């Protein structure tokens, strides 16, 4: 027969085991040690599901991403969990941002944070660790690119939208990636050539300057050890004009898609990206 103290220990253990992790959803943030994320789940709760981890832009939040019902629902219908981490709160500003540029002060180890998000959704939400796409819009796209450059094996593939490297561009990346970069032809917020955000002009050594998307693609071609500078394949999918480099390192993938709009998440982007991801 158990002594009173032992009985209390058993009861406490059973009670603790019966209490699930704090519920989190589209409306309630999931908390981990280094931050938080929101998650929307498809109806199928039994089968390990693929997921898109989507990073918000400047001043955004995970809860804000969840209000993009068109994009979220398009992914849910196809059986994907949609995960929206929140960047670090900016001092004196509303919303969050990402410490994405390695030459700037790092407020958080974002690679470690997003890796922890990955591990948490696998453990808590029945996500298939081998079928997670990291994507993001604007500086969320930049964060996506820098993580892909620094730690390419963290996620299955990468799909930055309206953002990639900043100046000075990286000299090299850690290894080949699977990437589809999408950009608006008329984007004036993050132009294809980049723009000066702080400083007199592009010659100012202290200037803060967005990168050149075409230079970023050159870096990705070199990273993926692509055989040619020119694309191997050209396609049109709805409004998207696409070019792909196929003769590259085994297991890698590189595509570039342009659409006629500006700095937006265009209608149809989610389905195009998921078609690409599923075809890898």
Asked whether residue 147 carries a pLDDT value surpassing 80, the answer given is: yes
For residue 22, the model assigns a pLDDT of 57
Q: Are strands 127-137 and 157-161 parallel, antiparallel or unpaired?
A: parallel
Whether the Cβ atoms of residue 121 and residue 98 lie closer than 8 Å to each other: no
pLDDT at 33 over 50: yes
Please check whether residue 51 is in contact with residue 42, taking contact to mean a CB–CB distance below 8 angstroms: no
Mean pLDDT, residues 102-123:
93
What is the model's pLDDT at position 12?
39
- The residues spanned by each domain of the chain are 23-278
Taking only the tens place, the pLDDT of each residue in 148-160 is: 999 999 999 999 9
Comparison of pLDDT for 197 and 173, the residue scoring more: 173
What string of DSSP letters covers 142-180?
Answer: HHHHHHHHH-TTSSSEEEEES---BSSPPS--SS--EEE
Read off the tokens for 181.
């970069």
Which residues are CB-contacts of 47 (< 8 A; sequence separation ≥ 6)?
Answer: 126
Q: Which single residue is written with the structure tokens 């994320």?
A: 37
The more confidently predicted of residues 90 and 96 is 96
Residues 6+ apart with CB under 8 A from 85: 35, 36, 37, 53, 55, 62, 113, 114, 117
| Portion of the chain with pLDDT greater than 70, in percent | 89
Residue 271, SS3 per DSSP: helix
CA distances from 141 to 33, 180, 208 (A): 24, 11, 17
**Confidence class for position 204, pLDDT limits 50, 70, 90:** low
Q: What is 23-278's CATH number?
A: 3.40.50.1820
State if pTM tops 0.75.
yes
* C-alpha to C-alpha distance for 162 and 138, rounded to whole angstroms: 5
Chain centroid to Cα 49, Å, comes to: 17
Beta carbons within 8 Å of 135's beta carbon, 6+ residues apart = 52, 53, 54, 55, 141, 144, 158, 159, 160, 161, 273
Residue by residue, DSSP assigns 180-224 as: EEEEETT-SSS-TT--EEESSSTT-TT-EEBPPHHHHHHHHHHHT
* Helix (H) or strand (E) segment spanning residue 121: helix 110-125
């Amino acid at each position: 027969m158990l002594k009173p103290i032992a009985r209390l220990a058993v009861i406490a253990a059973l009670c603790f085991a019966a209490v699930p992790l704090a519920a989190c959803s589209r409306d309630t943030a999931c908390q981990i040690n280094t931050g938080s994320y929101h998650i929307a789940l498809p109806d199928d709760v039994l089968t390990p599901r693929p997921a898109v981890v989507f990073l918000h832009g400047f001043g955004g939040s995970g809860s804000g991403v969840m209000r993009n019902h068109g994009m979220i629902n398009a992914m849910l219908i196809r059986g994907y969990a949609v995960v929206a981490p929140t960047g670090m709160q900016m001092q004196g500003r509303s919303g969050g941002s990402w410490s994405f540029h390695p030459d700037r002060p790092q407020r958080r180890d974002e690679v470690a944070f997003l890796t922890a998000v990955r591990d948490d959704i696998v453990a808590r939400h029945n996500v298939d660790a081998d079928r997670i796409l990291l994507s993001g819009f604007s500086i969320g796209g930049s964060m996506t690119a820098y993580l892909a450059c620094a730690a390419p094996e963290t996620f299955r593939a990468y799909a930055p939208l309206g953002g990639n490297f900043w100046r000075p561009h990286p000299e090299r990346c850690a290894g080949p990636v699977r990437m589809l970069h999408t950009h608006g032809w008329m984007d004036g917020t993050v132009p294809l050539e980049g723009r000066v955000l702080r400083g007199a002009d592009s010659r100012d050594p202290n200037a803060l300057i967005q990168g050149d998307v075409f230079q970023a693609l050159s870096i990705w071609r070199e990273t993926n050890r692509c055989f040619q500078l020119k694309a191997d394949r050209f396609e049109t999918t709805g409004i998207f004009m696409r070019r792909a480099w196929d003769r590259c390192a085994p297991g890698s993938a590189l595509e570039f898609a342009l659409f006629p709009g500006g700095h937006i998440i265009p209608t149809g982007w989610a389905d195009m990206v998921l078609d690409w991801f599923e075809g890898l």
